[in-house]
């Protein structure tokens, strides 16, 4: 395994991201909403209530982009945007009943899909796959953090 090159990692991650991206662009997965809206609905649904800045940070999007996405979700009656009574700059975002239905449908679709995927991994390798993916996520997060600090210094 000492012969592993960064290009090997890049190629595997590129293919994985592409294949997962194709899945997520599938209308059956996103239940009739755009991919960006799908990601927002999932994160709002999981948090139950979140502010715009936290949601933008969580999805790694600019606040203006997140704001447009939320505006579209509000217009489609999927999300409620409420201004905090004491701090007018704090905006709470939560799903409407219709948004909750779509959230549950997305979660069910994705749960079914990933149940099928993990079942195809040999049983004795499943924990290893999850552990390896978690290590990769952790390393990428550390590197992202270091890159953000570096760019702020420049």
At 48-102, the pLDDT tens digits run 999 998 999 999 889 999 999 999 999 999 999 988 777 777 789 999 999 999 9
Q: Tokens for 21?
A: 């991206």
Where are the extended beta strands (E) located within the chain?
50-51, 79-83, 91-95
Given a contact cutoff of 8 angstroms between Cβ atoms, the answer to whether 29 and 19 are in contact is: no
The model's pLDDT over 33-53, given as tens digits with 9 standing for 90+, comes to 888 899 999 999 999 999 998
- Indicate the pTM of the whole model: 0.77
Where are the extended beta strands (E) located within 52-108?
79-83, 91-95
Q: Rounded CA gap, 1 and 34, in Å? A: 40
Domains in the chain: ranges and CATH: 6-120 (1.10.10.10)
């Amino acid at each position: 395994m000492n012969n592993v090159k960064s290009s090997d990692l890049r190629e595997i991650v590129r293919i994985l991201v592409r294949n997962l991206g194709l899945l997520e662009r599938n209308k059956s997965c996103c239940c009739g909403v755009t991919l960006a809206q799908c990601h927002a609905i999932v994160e709002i649904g999981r948090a139950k209530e979140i502010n715009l800045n936290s949601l933008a940070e969580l999805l790694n999007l600019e606040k203006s982009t997140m704001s447009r996405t939320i505006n579209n979700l509000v217009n489609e009656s999927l999300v409620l945007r409420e201004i905090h009574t004491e701090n007018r700059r704090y905006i709470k975002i939560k799903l409407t009943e219709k948004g909750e239905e779509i959230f549950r449908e997305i979660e069910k679709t994705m749960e079914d899909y990933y149940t099928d995927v993990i079942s195809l991994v040999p049983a004795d390798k499943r924990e290893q796959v999850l552990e390896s993916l978690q290590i990769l996520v952790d390393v990428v997060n550390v590197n992202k953090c270091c890159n953000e600090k570096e760019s702020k210094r420049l």
